[in-house]
Amino acid sequence: MSEACDLEALSSRLRAFAEEREWERFHSPKNLCMALIKEAAELLEHFQWLTEQQSRALDEQVLGEVSLEMADVLIYLVRLADVLGVDLMAAASEKLAINARKYPAERVRGSARKYDQY
Amino acid sequence: MSEACDLEALSSRLRAFAEEREWERFHSPKNLCMALIKEAAELLEHFQWLTEQQSRALDEQVLGEVSLEMADVLIYLVRLADVLGVDLMAAASEKLAINARKYPAERVRGSARKYDQY
Amino acid sequence: MSEACDLEALSSRLRAFAEEREWERFHSPKNLCMALIKEAAELLEHFQWLTEQQSRALDEQVLGEVSLEMADVLIYLVRLADVLGVDLMAAASEKLAINARKYPAERVRGSARKYDQY
Amino acid sequence: MSEACDLEALSSRLRAFAEEREWERFHSPKNLCMALIKEAAELLEHFQWLTEQQSRALDEQVLGEVSLEMADVLIYLVRLADVLGVDLMAAASEKLAINARKYPAERVRGSARKYDQY
C-alpha cells in the first residue's frame, strides 16, 4: 500500500465529495449508520449461500465485487467518523486493548468457548 | 492521527491476535461477514430511536460507546480484508472513482434525487 | 385478511417451494438468517435517506416496493421457523408478556427513557 | 397453533402496547426498520460462529433464545406493517407468485445456480 493508505486522506476526500454535491444534510449519523449496514448486507449477500469453505476460495470476479462492497463499508464508516469527530484508529487500538484483557490467549486458546457462549 | 494510522499495521495486529488464540478456523469470510454486520447493528442501535438532529449531538458517554462500536466494524472489516487478500484502501479509491463518474457534482448538486431513486 | 392469514399455511407453501427446487440443503438456519438480514437491509434501504416524516408518507409505488421487501423478511422468517421447529406466534406471545413486565405502561408512558438508555 | 395464529390479532396487541406507552411518535417507519434489522442481527449473532451443521442442531436453551429473537423480528415487522397499512399475508402471497415465475422448479431443481449468481 502506498501513501494512499491513510484514513485521514480518505476522510478528506469523502468530505469534499459530499460538499461538492451538497449532501451534508443527508449525512446525519443516523442516516450514515443505515447506509453502512445496507452496504454490510450487500457484502454478506455474496456469502449467504456459500459454504464456509467456498467463502475462502472466491473466484476473481466475485472477489472483485466483494472488494467493492468492502470499500462501501469503509467509505460510510470513515464518513461517519468524520461527521462524529471520531478517531477510528485510536478507537480500534482502544478496543483491541479491551479485547486482549477480555480474551487472554492462554485461557481461550484452542477453544471455541468464546464463540459458543452468548 | 499518528503513524498508528495504518490499516496494514492494524491488520497485522489482528492477525496475530487471532493466531495466538487459534481462531483462524472460525474466521472464514462467511463468518467474518456475519460478525461485521452484527457490529454494524450494534452501532445502529444507538441511533434507532434518536431523531437525525439528536444523532448529530451525542453526549460524551454515548459518543464513547459509539466509537467502540465503530472500532468493532473496522476490526472485522480489516480482518476480512486480510483473510481475503483485499487491499482496502485501493478498493476504496476504485470505488470513489466509480462514484465520481456515477454522480457528477454538477448534475446531482443540491438535489436529493440520488437518495430518492432506488 | 382472508383465511390465507395463516402462518402455518404460508410455512407449508414455503416448504413445498423449497422441496420442489431441492433447496433444503441451502436452507440451514445459519444461511436463512443471513438471507433474512439481507432482506431487512433491502427494506431499510428505502428509508435511509428519508426523514422520519417522509417515511410516514410513502407514495404508492414506493409503498408497493416496501411491501414486497417486507414479504421477503416474513418469508425467510417463516421458513427459518419451519426448519428450526419454532412456533412463531407462541414465541411472539411469550415475548410480548416479557415486554409487558419490562416496560410497565404507568412507568414508561410519555417518556423516551426506554429509547434513550442503552 | 391456536386461533392466536393471527397476524391481525398480533397487530392489534402491538398497537395497543405502543399506544398505552405513548410510543407512536417513536414508531416512524424509518425507526421501525432500524429496530427490525437490529433484532435480525441479534438473531444472526447466535449463528455467526457455528457451522451450518451445528446451526441445524441447536440445544434447547439456545433454541429458546433464538425463538425470542425471531419473535422480536416478527413483532417489529407486524408493527411496521400496521403503521404503513401493509397487508403482510397478501404481500407474501404476491411475492411467492413472483418467485414461482422467477425460479421455475424444472429449471432450477438440484442446481445452486440461483445461489451463485447475483
Q: What is the mean pLDDT of residues B1-18?
A: 81
Q: So what's the pLDDT on residue C113?
A: 59
pTM: 0.93
Residues of D in contact with C43 (CB under 8 A): 33, 36-37
Banded pLDDT at D109 (limits 50, 70, 90): confident
**Residue scoring higher pLDDT (A46 or D4):** A46
Mean pLDDT is lowest, of B31-35, D3-7, D51-55, for D3-7
CB of D23 within 8 Å of any CB in chain B? no
The closest alpha carbon to B35, from A64, D10, D50, D86, belongs to: D50
Banded pLDDT at B3 (limits 50, 70, 90): very low
Q: So what's the pLDDT on residue C91?
A: 97
Residue with cell 432506488: B118
For residue D39, is pLDDT > 90? yes
- Nearest CB among B37, B62, B115 relative to C37 is that of B37
Closest residue of chain D to A49, computed from CA coordinates: D115
CB of B46 within 8 Å of any CB in chain C? yes
Minimum distance, in Å, between the CA of residue B70 and any CA atom of chain D: 15
Q: Give pLDDT tens digits for A63-106.
A: 999 999 999 999 999 999 999 999 999 999 999 999 999 999 98
Q: So what's the pLDDT on residue A111?
A: 65
Residues of B in contact with A4 (CB under 8 A): 89-90, 93
CB of C25 within 8 Å of any CB in chain B? no
What span, in angstroms and rounded, lies between the C-alpha atoms of B1 and B102? 31
Angle between helices B60-84 and B7-20 (to 10 degrees): 80
Q: Give pLDDT tens digits for A12-29.
A: 999 999 999 999 999 999
CB of A45 within 8 Å of any CB in chain B? no
| HSE toward the beta carbon, residue B107, CA cutoff 13 A | 8
Q: What is the mean pLDDT of residues C5-32?
A: 94
Closest residue of chain C to D13, computed from CA coordinates: C96
For residue C1, is pLDDT > 50? no
A contact test, residue of B70, B101, B111 with most A CBs within 10 A: B70
What span, in angstroms and rounded, lies between the C-alpha atoms of B32 and D63? 23
Mean pLDDT is lowest, of C29-33, D62-66, D74-78, D110-114, for D110-114
Minimum distance, in Å, between the CA of residue C67 and any CA atom of chain D: 6
For residue B4, is pLDDT > 80? no
Report the helix count and the strand count for chain B, using DSSP H and E.
7, 0
CA angle C109, C114, C117 (to 5 degrees): 150
Intra-chain end-to-end CA distance of chain C, in Å: 37
CA angle A68, A74, A76 (to 5 degrees): 105
- Nearest CB among A31, A42, A48 relative to C35 is that of A48
For residue B115, is pLDDT > 70? no
For residue D4, is pLDDT > 50? no
Mean pLDDT is lowest, of A42-51, B3-12, B91-100, D30-39, for B3-12
Q: So what's the pLDDT on residue B108?
A: 87
Percent of chain A with pLDDT over 90: 83
For residue B112, is pLDDT > 90? no
Q: So what's the pLDDT on residue B110?
A: 66
Angle between helices A60-84 and B60-84 (to 10 degrees): 160
For residue D118, is pLDDT > 70? no
Q: So what's the pLDDT on residue D34?
A: 98
Q: Give pLDDT tens digits for D86-98.
A: 999 999 999 999 9
Residues of B in contact with D45 (CB under 8 A): 34, 38
Closest residue of chain C to B46, computed from CA coordinates: C118
Is the CB of C34 less than 8 angstroms away from the CB of A42? no
> Average model confidence (pLDDT) for chain C?
91
For residue C3, is pLDDT > 60? no
For residue B84, is pLDDT > 70? yes
Minimum distance, in Å, between the CA of residue A18 and any CA atom of chain D: 23
- Nearest CB among D37, D38, D49 relative to B31 is that of D49
- Nearest CB among B34, B46, B118 relative to C118 is that of B46
Q: Give pLDDT tens digits for A27-50.
A: 999 999 999 999 999 999 999 999
Find residues 83-102 of chain B whose CB sits inside 8 Å of chain A. 83-96, 98-100
Q: What is the mean pLDDT of residues C92-118?
A: 80
What span, in angstroms and rounded, lies between the C-alpha atoms of A37 and A66? 15
A contact test, residue of D31, D33, D34, D48 with most A CBs within 10 A: D34
| Neighbors of chain A by Cβ distance (3+ pairs < 8 Å) | B, C, D
Q: So what's the pLDDT on residue D112?
A: 58
CB of A42 within 8 Å of any CB in chain C? yes
Banded pLDDT at B41 (limits 50, 70, 90): very high
Q: What is the mean pLDDT of residues D80-108?
A: 95
Minimum distance, in Å, between the CA of residue D79 and any CA atom of chain C: 11
Alpha carbon distances (Å) from B116 to B14, B52, C41, D14, D23: 39, 17, 16, 30, 27
Q: So what's the pLDDT on residue B116?
A: 47
CB of B57 within 8 Å of any CB in chain A? no
Instruction: Please report the number of interchain residue pairs, chain B to chain C, with beta-carbon separation below 8 angstroms.
Output: 23
Residues of A in contact with D46 (CB under 8 A): 118
For residue D51, is pLDDT > 60? yes
**Residue scoring higher pLDDT (D53 or D109):** D53
